[in-house]
Amino acid sequence: MSSTWMTTRAWLLMLPLLVVMVAVIGWPLVDTVGLSFTDAKLVGTGGSYVGFDNYTNMLSSSNFSRTLVTTTLFAVVSVAAEMVIGVLAALLLNQQFHGRAILRALMILPWALPTVVNATLWRLIYNPEYGALNAALTQLNLIDAYRSWLGEPATALTALIVADCWKNFPLVALIALAALQAVPRDITAASLVDGAGPFNRFRFVILPYLAGPLMVALVLRTIEAFKVFDIIWVMTRGGPANSTRTLSILVYQEAFSFQRAGSGASLALIVTLLVTVLAVAYAALVRKTAGSAA
Amino acid sequence: MSALEIRNVRKNYGSVETLKGIDIALQSGEFLVLLGSSGCGKSTLLNIIAGLAEATSGDVLIGGRSILGVHPKNRDIAMVFQSYALYPNLTVRRNIGFGLEMRGVAADEREKAVAEAARLLQIEALLDRKPSQLSGGQRQRVAIGRALVRKPQVFLFDEPLSNLDAKLRLEMRTELKRLHQMLQTTVVYVTHDQIEAMTLASRIAVMRDGRIEQLGTPEEIYNEPTTLYVAGFVGAPSMNMLQATVQGSMLAIDGAKASLPLPTRFRDAVLDGARVVVGIRPEALRVAAEATAPSLPVEIEVVELTGPELVTTARIGTQRLTACLPPASRVAKGQAASFAFSEDALRLFDPDTGKAF
């Protein structure tokens, strides 16, 4: 069979998928690019051409820079915490003890729950009148009176990060646990004979085997955290005083709450560009990690 | 005082008893090989000595000190693994010096020890490479180097040559022998390869089903096997085992019109009419020009030239036997011949107990 026919056949087989992708991703993307150069409203006429005004206005607005800082803070802190907690959980669940299988299954639950359910649960926990967190902290004499954790700008973002960590650390733990199974027993035994303590054993024996898979988890989670919308929308809608407003929330507000479709489209494309840069940088990192592990 | 003493060590995994009371005492500088097939308990015993598994009962002493319950790093042992077990992200230099680094040995002292080990193992040029850049043989040298720098009382080797190809295995075997002769260290070495055991050991413990079947020098194991199992396990090709019956002062080979004189040294040990197994090493057989006693009349079935010898399989009645003959021997398929041997080469075993007479 000739290679030309093989290539043609491959393209023919992929054609239906390509058509669907162009229809549901390609066309809206092109339309968004077009929209971003206009002053179109959400309803009504298509708007008139304004050049790069939407982009320059958005990039120079304090709203954008403040939201970018909030988004970065949310992504960095929550992903870092998820990585640390996930790896620690995986190390614990990799030990031999009774009930380990049940605990491993239970650990997946937060991740398996829909984000809306998770967000609603945490809203209940943080509730300023009957929330479990307030009850626990007052009973432990750690606070004097019930507080509105999601209602105060000083605590809302932290409260959101905790909820996001709780939902997503199991993914990191699962990936780390799978990687731990690949650590050769002989190398662990050799490190014991060589006198490596728990920290050095983790650093020199376990971490090299975890690095590659953890890098994949890091890429996935950072990109997801940077695009975060649903958990924040359900819990705080970006408030109070915009203290938990992330870029995706800002895009939504701009396009749908303020009905500025053109401006919203330009912001959406800026976010897409930022995430693409992150994805490309991380992909290069993953390739480098995989290369050095080989 | 023994360098290593194993006292009645037993190991149970649930209801399964994998070690059934092992007793061995090793003098300083001895090279003990634990030889046996898969699942005989040899690696379990090695892991108990290393502290990677706990004995259910019994005791292990190194330099007269009980080491049961002592952490592996404090047992004064070093171990070389079948899979090399090198740290993949560290250079050869750091791999070799890792044990010293973990023990807080100063960098210059460590560097000196690593250089010395690298010189002994001829891997000086590899010190800055990562394990992934090394061949199997080089990796095993690094693993041995990592054990050497520690200068422990006892070296433990867990099938270290099994992952190497045949040619490299031979080279590394000689290398290990050279190192042991030079350093005179105490070694416990696990293998299922009887050639490795014969060539390296000062003593061999043949293990079977969690017990020591026979403990002795390679010569004793080869020439004076105390059981049918040891006789069959050690030697390639295996010892010939012919079923026979004692008839007065003769041994009648079952299923064949052939008999051998019963060596005088066995006359008091076996009763007339008793069924026995006659053991003769293939290397002990030669083609007799004429039917001299003791000899066995055979019909040649298969002749295989291996290079240094002619491995000949022959039929004697309903039984078979193998002979390792000189390559120039004139034997051919279908030919009737007579295999002669020295009376001293003949062993007799009880077929019921498997023990040697």
Interface contact B87-A189, CB threshold 8 A: no
CATH code where residue B246 lies: 2.40.50.140
Counting beta carbons within 10 angstroms of the beta carbon of residue A220, is it exposed (0 to 12), middle (13 to 18) or buried (19 or more)?
A: middle
Within-domain flag for B355? no
φ, ψ (nearest 5 deg) of residue A175: -65, -45
Q: CA A64 → CA A78, A252, A261, distances in Å?
A: 21, 13, 16
Q: CA B241 → CA A148, B31, B319, B348, B354, distances in Å?
A: 89, 30, 9, 9, 12
Query: What's the CATH number for A52-293?
Result: 1.10.3720.10
Which tens digit of pLDDT belongs to each residue from B270-320? 888 999 999 999 999 999 877 666 888 999 999 999 999 999 999 998 999
| Per-residue pLDDT at A293 exceeds 70 | no
Task: Tell whether B133 and B213 lie within a shared domain.
Answer: yes
Residue (of B296, B330, B328, B329) closest to B315 by Cα position: B296
Task: Tell whether B316 and B225 lie within a shared domain.
Answer: no
Instruction: Provide the mean pLDDT of chain B.
Output: 92
Query: A143: which 2 tokens?
Result: 């606070």
> For A195, which residue in chain B has the nearest alpha carbon?
B73
| Per-residue pLDDT at A96 exceeds 90 | no
Within-domain flag for B8? yes
Note the pLDDT of residue B275. 94
| Per-residue pLDDT at B72 exceeds 90 | yes
| Per-residue pLDDT at A294 exceeds 50 | no
Chain A residue numbers with beta carbons less than 8 Å from the beta carbon of B90 are 204
Chain A residue numbers with beta carbons less than 8 Å from the beta carbon of B83 are 184, 186
Task: Tell whether B52 and B138 lie within a shared domain.
Answer: yes
Task: Taking residues A26-43, report their average pLDDT.
Answer: 90
Share of chain B above pLDDT 90, in %: 73
Task: Tell whether B251 and B148 lie within a shared domain.
Answer: no
| B198: closest CA of chain A, how far (Å) | 26
> For A289, which residue in chain B has the nearest alpha carbon?
B89
Q: Is the dihedral of CA B40, B46, B47, B49 positive or negative?
A: positive
Our count of domains for chain B comes to 2
- CB distance from B266 to chain A under 8 Å? no
| Per-residue pLDDT at A292 exceeds 70 | no
Tell me which DSSP letter residue B264 carries.
G
| A212: closest CA of chain B, how far (Å) | 13
Rounded (10°) angle between helices A153-180 and A115-125 = 130
Q: Are B249 and B283 in contact (CB under 8 A)?
A: no
Share of chain B above pLDDT 70, in %: 99
Residue B262 lies in domain? 240-349
| Nearest-by-Cβ selection for B73 from A187, A192, A208 | A192
Give all strands of the β-sheet with B31-35 in edge-to-edge order.
B77-80, B154-158, B186-191, B31-35, B203-208, B211-216
Note the pLDDT of residue A291. 57
Residue (of A167, A137, A134) closest to A234 by Cα position: A167
| Nearest-by-Cβ selection for A195 from B88, B102, B132 | B102
Task: Taking residues A84-113, report their average pLDDT.
Answer: 92
| Nearest-by-Cβ selection for A187 from B51, B85, B132 | B85
Task: Determine the residue type at A54.
Answer: N
> What is the CA B21 to chain-centroid distance, rounded?
20
Note the pLDDT of residue B293. 67
Question: CA B304 to CA B321: how far, in whole Å?
Answer: 14
Q: Are A293 and A210 in contact (CB under 8 A)?
A: no
Task: Tell me the ipTM for this assembly.
Answer: 0.83
Give the three-class secondary structure for A227: coil
Interface contact A193-B88, CB threshold 8 A: no
**Of residues B299 and A42, more confidently modeled:** B299
Q: Are B277 and B311 in contact (CB under 8 A)?
A: no
Task: Tell whether B207 and B126 lie within a shared domain.
Answer: yes
Question: CA B29 to CA B20: how far, in whole Å?
Answer: 27
Question: CA B217 to CA B211: how far, in whole Å?
Answer: 18
Task: Tell whether B200 and B303 lie within a shared domain.
Answer: no
Note the pLDDT of residue A289. 67
Within-domain flag for B79? yes
Q: Where among B180, B215, B233 does a domain terminate? A: B233
Question: CA B226 to CA B214: how far, in whole Å?
Answer: 7
| Nearest-by-Cβ selection for A193 from B77, B82, B89 | B77
Interface contact B82-A186, CB threshold 8 A: yes
Which tens digit of pLDDT belongs to each residue from A59-76? 999 999 999 999 999 999
Our CA dihedral for B317, B318, B320, B326, rounded to 10 degrees, sits at 20
Which tens digit of pLDDT belongs to each residue from A139-193? 999 999 899 999 999 999 999 999 999 999 999 999 999 999 989 999 999 999 9
pTM reported for the whole predicted model: 0.80
Interface contact B85-A196, CB threshold 8 A: no
Task: Taking residues B33-38, report their average pLDDT.
Answer: 94
Note the pLDDT of residue A1. 63
Which tens digit of pLDDT belongs to each residue from B156-208? 999 999 888 888 888 889 989 998 998 899 999 999 999 999 999 999 999 99
Within-domain flag for B356? no
Domain boundaries, chain A: 1-36, 52-293
Task: Determine the residue type at B342.
Answer: S
Within-domain flag for B354? no
| B345: closest CA of chain A, how far (Å) | 43
Task: Taking residues A15-22, report their average pLDDT.
Answer: 95
Share of chain A above pLDDT 90, in %: 76
Q: Are B29 and B80 in contact (CB under 8 A)?
A: no
Instruction: Provide the mean pLDDT of chain A.
Output: 91
Query: B114: which 2 tokens?
Result: 């690593």
Q: Where among B209, B233, B257 does a domain terminate? A: B233
Q: Are B280 and B341 in contact (CB under 8 A)?
A: yes
Within-domain flag for B345? yes
Q: Where among B201, B233, B265 does a domain terminate? A: B233
Name residue, tokens 């092109």. Answer: A30
Give all strands of the β-sheet with B240-247 in edge-to-edge order.
B259-261, B250-253, B240-247, B275-280, B347-349
- CB distance from B139 to chain A under 8 Å? no
